[in-house]
Homo-oligomer: A and B are copies of this chain.
Amino acid sequence: MKKTITLGHGSGGRLMHQLIEDLRLQLSNKILDELADAAEFKIGNRKLALSTDSYVVKPLFFPGGDIGKLAVCGTVNDLAMKGAKPIYLSLAFIIEDGFELAQFKKIVNSIKQAARQAQVLVVTGDIKVVEKGAADGIFINTAGIGVIDYPASLGVKAKLGDFIVINGGIAEHGMAILNARENLEFSSTGIKSDCRHLNFSVQRCLKASKKISMMRDLTRGGLATVLNEIAQGSNLGIEVDQQAIPIKKSVSKMCDVLGFDPLYVANEGKFICFVNQKDAPKVIKVLGKQARIVGRVTSSHKREVYLTTKIGAQRILPMLESDQLPRIC
């Protein structure tokens, strides 16, 4: 049988990491090899960041956002995670023949609002139309440029002893998408995507502490996947406390009923900040009352994430092979 690329390769799990690693090896260079949310380099007298993402979410419109808002916030947030101030975006559409013009206009309007709120400008773009059946409605790609002013480089590695601060409750985006897509009966719970731009929150953190080693937004694969990536990339251990991880009751309940582990569910407005223990309260303070310290970086059990469960037991929190099912993306 011929080897193929499958949905599992796009899920944020181990299969995807392998595919990305193959790609990196082929195209290897110093900047790409960092494999950060955004590439970092110097041009002239400024340090810049470049990031890109394609958006293929279904349904296109969901409580808390739509594909347009997502396309702006997602790339803005990837830049922000490198400590960059996002300034310019490119915007490329792939549209299926027969796509409703009114829907397109609604999406463009969301892009406009989201860009205004995040204070970025869309400066260039592209539109491709493909035959009926050759795409699923509409796909959007954005790439973004940001300027890095933070004196120390925000890397992709955590430091031993760092505290891990999260800016709010997890799993809201994934559950909102699932709810909207499958027409489930959780509508009364008011679960909304947390999709939002994080650049100003990040700037506040960077102002509050000069001892931040890294930040990451918790998109595909959720908190657990990102923590595993960081433990491996930093060659250190991570301990998290389940009790401390914020999650809305309605979200937690929906995960329970459907058998999802919220630790692996996607977010679009949540990030974690790795900061020196002493400065953690400063970061909490600027992130507001939803923020929590959820864990810390250790020298024991290197490259693994340990979870202290609600009943006080410790267990390994593994990286998933591919997805939880049904798929949310």
Contact = CB atoms under 8 A, between A and B. Distances in A.
A127 B26 contact: no
A72 B128 CA distance: 17
Nearest to A136: B134
A261 to B, nearest CB: 21
Interface string A78-92: 000000000110111
Interface in A1-20: 2-11, 16, 19-20
Contacts of A318: none
Interface residues of A toward B: which range? 35 or more
A16 B127 contact: yes
Contacts of A54: 92-94, 126, 128, 141
Contact of A125 (B3, B4, B52, B101): B52
Given A98-B6, A104-B5, A130 B134 contact: no
A175 interface: no
A127 B27 contact: no
A109 B23 CA distance: 9
Contacts of A141: 52, 54, 92, 141, 143
A304 B129 CA distance: 27
A170 interface: no
A241 interface: no
A99 B48 contact: no
A131 B92 contact: no
B7 A131 contact: yes
Interface in A27-42: 27, 29, 31-32, 36, 38-39, 41
Contacts of A104: 5
Contact of A145 (B29, B50, B125): B50
Contact of A27 (B32, B48, B50, B122): B122
A123 interface: yes
A27 B115 contact: yes
A44 interface: yes
B128 A29 contact: no
Contact of A43 (B31, B48, B134): B48
Contacts of A135: 134-136, 139
Nearest to A104: B5
Given A45-B44, A52-B91, A94-B54, A26 B108 contact: yes
A282 interface: no
A143 B54 CA distance: 12
Given A5-B99, A20-B125, 20 more contacts: A2-B101, A2-B102, A3-B102, A4-B101, A5-B98, A5-B129, A8-B129, A10-B95, A19-B127, A20-B127, A22-B108, A29-B123, A32-B124, A38-B124, A41-B88, A46-B46, A50-B88, A54-B141, A56-B94, A56-B128
CB-CB nearest 4 A-B residue pairs: A10-B129, A143-B143, A44-B46, A52-B90
19 contacts: A19-B127, A26-B108, A27-B108, A27-B112, A27-B122, A29-B123, A32-B123, A39-B88, A44-B44, A45-B45, A50-B88, A50-B90, A51-B90, A53-B92, A56-B94, A56-B130, A128-B329, A131-B136, A133-B136
